[in-house]
């Protein structure tokens, strides 16, 4: 969420053509902010919840480089 240190964008999207399918988009300040979040105890619980909701029991995580703002 935006309350997390180093997170500048947090958006949840639902697929218009496939309701019930979601994409969560987060933008982090840098790799250190990602590493910090992933090391947090509460994030482990969030990952478990997301896994229970994801197809195949595992959320797909994709990393991108921002090219434009």
> How does the average pLDDT of the chain come out, rounded?
89
Instruction: Supply the pLDDT for residue 34.
Output: 92
**pLDDT tens-digit readout, 1-41:** 888 889 999 999 999 999 988 899 999 999 999 999 889 88
The crossing angle, in degrees rounded to 10, of helices 41-53 and 31-39 is 90
Cβ atoms within 10 Å, residue 54:
12
Q: Which residues contact 24 (CB under 8 A, 6 or more apart)?
A: 10, 11, 12, 13, 50
- Which residues are CB-contacts of 51 (< 8 A; sequence separation ≥ 6)? 57, 58, 59
Domain boundaries, the chain: 7-57
């Amino acid at each position: 969420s935006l309350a997390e240190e180093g997170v500048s964008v947090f958006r949840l999207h639902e697929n218009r053509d496939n309701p019930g399918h979601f994409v969560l988009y987060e933008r982090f300040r840098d790799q250190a902010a990602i590493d910090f979040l992933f090391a947090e105890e509460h994030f482990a619980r969030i990952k478990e919840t997301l896994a229970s909701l994801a197809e195949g029991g595992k959320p797909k995580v994709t990393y991108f480089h921002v090219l434009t703002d």
